[in-house]
Amino acid sequence: MTAIVWSERVIARAIALQTLARKCVVLVDNCNWTGYECDVLGVTTDLRIIDVEVKISRADLKADAKKDKWWIRNFVGYSEPKEIRDGNGVLRYTTRESLWNNVARQHPPKVWKHYYAMPRDIWKSELLECLPSPHSGVILMREQHGNDTVAVAEVVRRATPAKDAYRLKPEQVMDIARLANLRMWEAYQLASSATTKLREAEAA
């Protein structure tokens, strides 16, 4: 029996079909509609956004807290002038660094609920401390063996919703739906091209 090789696509597909299918009217992968990338973006039946980030390694998960989507960065001015001199002590130019006040977000912009999804094998409870927000949920993936090996998604920590969550307008939902439709046809084209190349290789 072949073991599952975890990838962003395998996990995203399982999340879309199992976790979000009944809650959402539209699902799009690798979507930047919010202004920041969502590995899976779902529009719920009451027109709010669920953002799922897929992680394949602990290092990838730990690095996520540095992303701009988790910070409000306010410009507060410039540092004192700093002189830059050459090896002979001659002044070349003067520079000033930009100063910023960084405030952590509890939810990414426009997002109602946020989740992290990853293989169960890489998860440890200590990783909760590494998440950018205590409101993020956690979805763990495992293999289920039967006639076929399938990926099973399990929500082990539910996301806390944003109380002031952005609610989409109908035209915005249509915009996201249009993107999802285009992605579907692109996927069909890629599958068709792959099939054609396989047949050509077999005939050669």
Q: According to the model, what pLDDT value does residue 116 have?
A: 97
The predicted structure's pLDDT at residue 1: 58
CA distances from 4 to 119, 135, 164 (A): 10, 30, 39
Regions of the chain with pLDDT less than 70: 1, 147, 149
pLDDT tens-place string over residues 145-168:
776 768 999 999 999 999 988 899
Tell me the C-alpha to C-alpha distance, in Å, between residue 31 and each of 47, 58, 204: 16, 23, 39
Q: In the prediction, which pLDDT does 159 show?
A: 97
Q: Look up the pTM and report it.
A: 0.81
User: What pLDDT score does 166 carry?
Assistant: 85
Determine contact, residues 111/168, Cβ cutoff 8 Å.
Answer: no
Q: For residue 189, what are the CA distances in angstroms to 12, 27, 77, 80, 198?
A: 20, 19, 50, 56, 14
Instruction: Write phi, then psi, for 54 (nearest 5 degrees).
Output: -100, 130
pLDDT number for residue 183 = 81
